[in-house]
């Protein structure tokens, strides 16, 4: 083994810097948090090319005294902690006096700062940890820090940076979070020369939400403010019907700092559980306030995942706060049942049609054979066996039925001179359809509450949710279409979105086109929609495009899944556009489509399309049968 040497100061700095500075977003987070600690109420963040070549944070905070400037860049130099007890009592998180030291170790940093008591300000330039300039300068009160060429001296780290757009999005998320947790600060974000976010700083959470997350979101909120177990939970949550397809709309803050907390997320899910659809997530901005000695502060400064000394207490506090808010604020009528219904997960089709080949595969040699099976199992060309066995004819009423794992044949075979192979395939197809129309024909009984179709099929009565069924059928239709039917809008429609959502849309214009949407960039917080699928009407544009944007935001989805999400959104709106189906002929048709198609069990959002009430159950209830 080689000799042990003590690393040079510079190398040690680089290693330490790696802990705090992962990417431009982590630099911005540290710098803006410093500005907030310095009591700034106006902060401007500017980045170029995702931040890797240029980042600037300007604030109107306290500034740094000339004598302290160099100290601020030393590792473990901080004005915020003086003793060990401060570690547990400070109202801030993760201070180690490391940010400026770390950033200046891996970039070219320029600081311009002035306190209100000083006549002149200070300009300090430090590159790769080495001082390059220290001079007096004229400047306004507050601090500007410019960080250029991040990782210029650590090429290995530079390689880990993602595309500029991705890094910019990460910075954007940090900025959004800060804007949401500090409505009292006016925050500007300039990306590649364009102002993309500008919050009022008027202290209202609602106005911060409006700016960051968009109008639609802001209009659907209920206020939250409850204290449980000495933990105050406040903020805004969306009503259940505005739940989102991903968790991207969830922001948790601990004493105003962005955190991730498994306990808090779980609590929200649980509070919304019976009010939202499968696959949808609550959204909102939640601040958790509790004494710092109840948080495990030993979390990494750059990481946001937080552990609480009493996770259960936090869970309960968030849960009750959300529950209270929803009960008070969500006026949507709720159907309450005595017993909870657990919707089954979509199961394999209980009844399925088989081709001859599939049928052959099902019957392996080790199963007992009937005469008919023997014929099909034989891998030899059919013609070779014809002399040994009588040729079968399959009657129209014959069916192959698969029930779970088990397959049964309902078929009779007779001797006939014909080509078995083609005959079988043709007739199998026919026999199944025929069986359906004979035994499973659907009788329309009526409509209840203008919402539910009542229909009878076989030995059961079905309650069908008209809208859910319609939606699902439209969804299947959209999915099948090769080229979508589109309509060009006479005047293009502008849709305002959060910046993240806008970026997500513009990154996926090809998928959108496939689904029938033509979308282009329009200003900092909106897109222009030029064409939409014919199934939609113009007044839907805002809602649908907003929904699509937020579903595209979650990364890591396969393209087909994203397309499905797009079709869901369109089908949902299109079903509304088509209005309530009213004539009994339409309803009869819908009922048949649903009940004769085993694939249609759930609406695209996962709600069941139909409930079954078995005749045997009814007879039991009436005491006709045990
Ligand atoms: P920490 O924030 O943990 O104290 P930093 O390295 O981020 O460590 O900052 C070191 C010190 O520099 C801070 O404690 C603070 O005194 C000073 N400082 C940094 N940024 C600013 C700013 N924008 N305005 C005023 N003071 C600042
Ligand atoms: Mg700091």
- C-beta of 125 in contact with ligand 1 (< 6 A): no
Ligand 1 contact, 104 CB (< 6 A): no
State the distance from the centre of ligand 2 to the C-alpha of 130, rounded, in angstroms: 20
Q: At what angle do helices 466-480 and 559-577 cross, to 10 degrees?
A: 130
CA dihedral 224, 225, 228, 231 (to 10 degrees): 100
For residue 142, which atom of ligand 1 is closest to its CA?
24
**Alpha carbon of residue 385 to chain centroid:** 58
Distance 271 CA to ligand 1 centre (A): 39
One-letter-per-residue 3-state SS of 293-349: HHECCCCCCCCCECCECCHHHHHHHHHHHHHHHHHHHCCCCCCCCCCCCCCCCCCCC
78 lines ligand 1 (CB under 6 A): yes
- Helix or strand (DSSP H, E) at 135: strand 130-137
The ligand 1 atom at the shortest distance from the C-alpha of residue 35 is: 23
Span from the CA of 84 to the centroid of ligand 1 (angstroms): 18
Alpha carbon nearest to ligand 1 atom 13, residue: 78
**pLDDT score, position 215:** 77
Closest atom of ligand 1 to 102 CA is 6
Q: Whose CA is nearest to atom 12 of ligand 1?
A: 72
20 CA from centroid of ligand 1 (Å):
14
Cβ neighbours of residue 563 closer than 8 Å, sequence gap 6 or more: 479, 511, 514, 515
Q: How far apart are CA 244 and CA 602, in angstroms?
A: 18
DSSP structural state of residue 350:
S
- Give the residue, by CA position, lying nearest to ligand 1 atom 7: 99
Identify the pLDDT of residue 305.
73
Atom of ligand 1 nearest to the CA of 99: 6
H or E segment and range at residue 241:
none
Nearest CA to ligand 1 atom 20: 34
CB-based contact 243:281 (threshold 8 Å): yes
Q: Which residue has its alpha carbon closest to ligand 1 atom 17?
A: 72
Cα 601 to chain centroid, rounded? 24
Q: Is the CB of 80 under 6 A from ligand 1?
A: yes
Between the CA of 116 and the centroid of ligand 2 the distance, in Å, is: 21
Residue 165's CB: how many other CB atoms inside 10 A? 14
* Residue 144 Cβ < 6 Å to ligand 1: no
Looking from the CA of residue 301, the nearest atom of ligand 1 is: 3
**Closest ligand (CA of 75):** 1
- Indicate whether residue 250 lines ligand 1 (CB < 6 A): no
Q: Which atom of ligand 1 is nearest to the CA of 145?
A: 23
Residue 208 alpha carbon to ligand 2 centre in Å: 24
Is residue 425 a contact partner of residue 356, using CB atoms and an 8 Å limit? yes
Length of the chain: 626
pLDDT along the chain (626 residues), means of 10: 73 70 92 94 96 97 96 81 58 65 95 96 96 95 97 89 92 92 95 93 92 81 90 91 81 85 89 76 91 64 69 91 82 34 40 46 44 35 35 41 40 41 36 44 89 89 87 86 87 88 89 92 88 89 87 73 84 75 84 82 70 84 77
Is the CB of 97 inside a 6 Å radius of any atom of ligand 1? yes
Q: For residue 524, which of 185, 201, 168 has the smallest C-alpha distance?
A: 168
Q: Is 526 in the pocket of ligand 1 (CB under 6 A)?
A: no
CA of 285 to the centre of ligand 1 (A): 27
For ligand 2, the distance from its centroid to the CA atom of residue 25, given in whole angstroms, is 14
Ligand 1 pocket residue status of 39, Cβ below 6 Å: no
Distance 109 CA to ligand 1 centre (A): 14
Output the pLDDT for position 109. 98
Distance 69 CA to ligand 2 centre (A): 14
Assess whether the C-beta atom of 398 lies below 6 angstroms from ligand 1. Answer: no
The pLDDT score that the predictor gives to residue 605 is 63
CA 79 to centroid of ligand 2, rounded, Å = 9
Indicate whether residue 77 lines ligand 1 (CB < 6 A): yes
Q: What is the pLDDT of residue 299?
A: 53
Using the mean position of ligand 1's atoms as its centre, give its distance from the Cα of residue 168 in Å: 24
Q: Is 98 in the pocket of ligand 1 (CB under 6 A)?
A: yes
Ligand 1 near 465 CB (within 6 A): no
CA–centroid distance, residue 192 to ligand 1 (Å): 26
| DSSP H/E element including 505 | helix 499-507
Q: Tell whether ligand 1 has an atom less than 6 A from the beta carbon of residue 111.
A: no
Which of 39, 79, 102, 110 most suits a substitution to test ligand 1, by most atoms within 8 Å of the C-beta?
79
Report the separation in Å between the CA atom of 144 and the middle of ligand 2, taken as the mean of its atom positions: 14
How confident is the model at residue 543, as a pLDDT? Answer: 86
Least distant ligand from the CA of 32:
1
Going from the Cα of 305 to the center of ligand 1, the distance in angstroms, rounded, reads: 23
pLDDT at 380: 35
Looking at residue 336, its pLDDT comes to: 32
The Cα 159–Cα 157 span in angstroms is 5
| Cβ-defined contacts of 612-620 (< 8 Å, 24+) | 612/460, 612/461, 612/462, 613/460, 613/461, 613/462, 613/463, 614/459, 614/460, 615/459, 615/460, 615/461, 616/459, 618/461
* Residue minimizing CA distance to atom 3 of ligand 1: 97
Ligand closest to CA 68: 1
Please give the number of the atom of ligand 1 that sits closest to the Cα of 101: 6
The finding on whether 62 has its CB within 6 A of some atom of ligand 1 is yes
What is the C-alpha separation between 396 and 469, in angstroms, rounded? Answer: 31
């Amino acid at each position: 083994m080689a000799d042990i040497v003590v690393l040079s100061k510079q190398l040690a700095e680089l290693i330490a810097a790696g802990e705090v500075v992962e990417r431009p977003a982590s630099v911005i987070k540290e710098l803006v948090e410093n500005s907030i600690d310095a009591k700034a109420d106006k902060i401007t963040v500017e980045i170029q090319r995702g931040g890797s070549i240029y980042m600037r944070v300007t604030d109107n905070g306290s500034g740094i005294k000339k004598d302290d400037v160099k100290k601020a860049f030393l590792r473990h130099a901080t004005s915020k902690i003086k003793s060990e007890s401060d570690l547990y009592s400070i109202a801030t998180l993760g201070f180690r006096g490391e940010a400026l030291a770390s950033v200046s170790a891996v970039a070219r940093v320029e600081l311009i700062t002035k306190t209100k008591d000083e006549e002149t300000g200070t300009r300090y330039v430090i590159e790769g940890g080495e001082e390059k300039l220290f001079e007096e300068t004229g400047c306004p009160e507050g601090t500007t820090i410019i960080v250029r060429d991040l990782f210029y001296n650590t090429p290995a780290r530079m390689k880990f940076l993602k595309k500029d757009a991705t890094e910019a999005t990460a910075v954007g998320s940090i900025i959004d979070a800060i804007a949401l947790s500090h409505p009292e600060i006016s925050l500007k974000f300039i990306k590649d020369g364009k102002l993309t976010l500008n919050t009022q700083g008027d202290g209202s959470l609602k106005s911060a939400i409006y700016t960051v997350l968009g109008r639609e979101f802001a209009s659907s909120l209920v206020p939250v403010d409850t204290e449980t177990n000495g933990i105050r939970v406040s903020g805004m949550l969306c009503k259940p019907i505005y739940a989102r397809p991903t968790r991207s709309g969830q922001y948790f803050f601990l004493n105003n700092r962005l955190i991730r907390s498994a306990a808090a997320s779980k609590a929200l899910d649980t509070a919304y559980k019976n009010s939202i659809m499968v696959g949808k997530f609550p959204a909102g901005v939640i601040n958790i306030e509790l004494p710092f000695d109840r948080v495990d502060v030993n979390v990494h400064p750059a990481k946001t995942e937080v552990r609480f000394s009493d996770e259960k207490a936090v869970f309960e506090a968030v849960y009750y706060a959300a529950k209270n808010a929803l009960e008070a604020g969500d006026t949507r009528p709720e159907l309450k049942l005595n017993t909870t219904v657990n919707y089954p997960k979509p199961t394999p089709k209980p009844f399925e049609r088989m081709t001859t080949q599939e049928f052959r595969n099902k019957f392996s040699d080790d199963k007992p054979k009937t005469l008919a099976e023997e014929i099909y199992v034989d891998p030899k060309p059919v013609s070779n066996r014809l002399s040994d066995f009588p040729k079968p004819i399959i009657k129209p009423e014959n069916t192959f039925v698969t029930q779970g794992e088990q397959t049964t044949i309902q078929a009779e075979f007779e001797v006939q001179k014909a080509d078995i192979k083609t005959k079988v395939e043709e007739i199998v197809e026919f026999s199944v359809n025929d069986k359906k129309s004979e035994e499973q024909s659907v009788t329309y009984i009526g409509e209840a509450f203008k919402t539910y179709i009542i229909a009878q099929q076989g030995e059961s009565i079905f309650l069908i949710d008209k809208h859910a069924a319609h939606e699902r059928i439209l969804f299947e239709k959209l999915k099948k279409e090769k080229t979508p039917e589109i309509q060009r809008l006479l005047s293009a429609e502008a849709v305002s979105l959060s910046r993240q959502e806008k970026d997500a849309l513009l990154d996926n214009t090809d998928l959108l086109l496939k689904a029938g949407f033509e979308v282009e960039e329009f200003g900092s917080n909106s897109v222009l929609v030029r064409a939409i699928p014919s199934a939609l009407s113009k007044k839907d544009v805002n809602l649908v495009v907003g929904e699509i944007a937020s579903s595209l935001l979650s990364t890591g989805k396969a393209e087909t899944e994203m397309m499905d999400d797009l079709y869901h959104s369109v089908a949902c709106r299109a079903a509304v556009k088509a209005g309530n189906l009213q004539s009994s002929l339409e309803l009869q048709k819908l009922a048949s489509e649903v009940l004769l198609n085993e694939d249609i069990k759930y609406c695209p959002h996962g709600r069941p399309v139909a409930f079954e009430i078995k005749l045997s159950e009814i007879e039991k209830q009436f005491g006709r049968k045990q």
